Structure 1
Amino acid sequence: MGTQKTAPLDVERIREDFPILQRRVNDDQQIVYLDNAATTQTPNQVIDVFGEYYRGYNANVHRGIHHLSQEASIAYEEAHDRLADFIGASGGREEMIFTKNTTESMNLVAYAWGLNELGPGDEVVLTEMEHHASLVTWQQIAKRTGADVRYIRVDETGRLDMNHARELIGEDTQMVSVVHVSNTLGTINPVAELADIAHEHDSFIFVDGAQAVPTRPVDVESIDADFYAFSGHKMAGPTGIGGLYGKKEILEGMEPFLYGGDMIKKVTFEDAKWNDLPWKYEAGTPLIAEGIAMAQAADYLDEIGMENVQEHEEQLAEYAYNRLSEFDDIEIYGPEPGPERGGLVAFNLDSVHAHDLASIMNDSAVAIRAGDHCTQPLHDKLGVAASARASFYIYNTRAEIDILIDAIDDARQLFA
């Protein structure tokens, strides 16, 4: 795992690896990219993987004995091992399934495990800050199976009410699904503690790590997660690829999510026998180049050091939080800066809709997110239709946050 910590990040040198950051838009303004919780930018080291693959060893995996297929298969299989190591899964490729993204990982478990194991009287426990990838998926699976969905409360500080969690998670609970880092509040949830509570009641826990794996050291075995999911495009990798960690003994006992080529070992006209892990859950021709590129993204982040990534991002978030707190007409959501807050800040400016604010930001070449961030029920609880969100990564600077503050002032003056 990439936990080494060295000197503070050389952000200017890192920025040279990301060609898109050199773009100039809107009357030759250099783009300020603060939408990293949605998608991070991609360094040359990852982009180059695609040229190397398609020019050098483009072939289908696990389907040929010729040289190119062998090279592609080895690189793709080793990518599984690399991502398993990146998140602390000692079981290697057998515990690392490649999916399209965190959402597909969630659906894989919900369909392959949930449809077969849940029934009337069973409970799935979520949190009020869940991304729709978790909330909608388990909600719909519960409707099909007759199970109930219950939600751990978010308190007024933006943290989970852990006393309420202990009340909800009980003998009828079969699955606890929780976001590791909230993409709206920035809250870092006590997932290891929740795993302990779940396991005390013989329940599984699924952790949505989409905002955690890119930004901090993650050790799925220390957390004792039964399932843990993440997406490549949020960790300086390509779009269309993600990872699902699952404990080997659980994955072996589940039915496949998709059927077809490569996920089988033997097929007759009457039945089929499934392939070994992880290929059992990777039907058809997979995202070969994307998987290899995601492994390269892990190498890139490890070279920087994940503790350094975390420290840099949280320092930027604290700086943004403090700058935004200077103004009485700005409401910030989530915990105050500290060990329970990650590297994003969601907020609203009085009398200015978040979409209007993002549009004015764009006039200054500042890219932020505006909307409900796929957390509509949480926004309903907060009493707002939408919020603006600035989120940070390894290539962002305090100077860019100052540009954000200036652009907010432009919006303030325009709507005065």
Structure 2
Amino acid sequence: MEWLVTLVLFGSFFLLLVLGIPISFAIGLSALISIMMMLPFDPALSVVSQKMASGLDSFTLLAIPFFILAGNIMNRGGIAIRLIEFSKLIVGPMPGALGHVNVIANMLFGSISGSAVAAAAAVGGTMAPLQKKNGYDPVYCTAVNVTSCPAGLLIPPSNALIVYSLISGGTSIAALFLAGYIPGLLMGLGIIVISSIIAKKRKYPVSDRVPFHDALIITLRALPSLGLIVVIMGGIVAGVFTATEASAVAVLYTLLLALVFYREVSIKDMPKIILEAVMTSSMIMLLIGASMAMAWAMANADIPYMISNTLLAISDNPIVILLIINIILLVVGVFMDMTPALLIFTPIFLPVSSEIGMDPVHFGIMMVFNLCIGLCTPPVGSALFVGCSVSGVQIDKIIKPLLPFFLILLVSLFVVTFFPQVSLFLPQLLLDY
């Protein structure tokens, strides 16, 4: 019976996706159909409704709309160009410097806005004309932009890590945030290594040195934006406020920055900014609510237990099991966006990882890192589509140039997966985790 419920649950889900049903509705309807195999229609509908409502009744979830609103305010506040100028100072006179600037700016912007797509659009849109003017191949630049923008999803504040914390049963958000720093930097540095090799072979130009006076002005202009990271993480680590309270602080900070300091956002712009944040938040919340119903359906049918037993029956070697999980997640990431993938597959694979003694923080970072790669791959990679859109490069022309970048991302994923201290060092150092 359990295998039949599993087949119906996932079969109906993928069938609904193929039919073009929005993923939130596909999740909810497939959960309802599978529960109806165990309960009559009215009780099944009641269970789905209750689980959707109770799944959203969480103080932790308040962080998501607040961080989205803060990111929207920052996106309109003109910080992209300031972070790009600051990134030039960090890179200095290196071969293909504008490619490295793109990577670092994506890491900074993505971590502040919490969105890989926003980083790809804002940074890529600003860098593309500058890179073209300096003789860079647009395909190469697009590949760099697309593969580096997801790094901001690992560097806090990250909505993906908040979602994982909720689904995993309350894994510490502070620990997850701290754990994301080194893997996020590893992802960015890997892209820089590959882009450096390509830039050196193609003899891309070296950037001019910036005079000290100009460098000081650029740094001072960028510091208020970078200060958000210090305020948020400093407050969380020091115990001044929780991650959820930090999201509200982020909104106040970005409002002051955009309205008073940079003055690139006016009061008249706020209704539109808030409406965009509400629309994005509502889509994510509907996804979370529907996924809670699916999680209950899976738990009631013992699906996580069955999958755990199946994987452990294949091998009791943790390395083999983690390789299998990573391969499955890489395939899932190709066809599914990050948030629904986290919501669906965390309840399935987390018990398996616990069975082999893997820390839930380490597993969460591994899972998010893995799904970040999916954002750069066709056919549904949102970062890939946005990156190609802002640069004007056709998707079919960028697939081959992406391959060396994918290779370094897979190597970085291997390091994150099989060396736990890459993720756990900072939480253990700063939080005594």
**What TM-score results when the alignment is normalised by the length of structure 1?**
0.28
Which is strand-richer, 1 or 2? 1
**What TM-score results when the alignment is normalised by the length of structure 2?**
0.27
Greater RCO, 1 or 2 (C-alpha within 8 Å, sep 6+): 2
Which is helix-richer, 1 or 2? 2
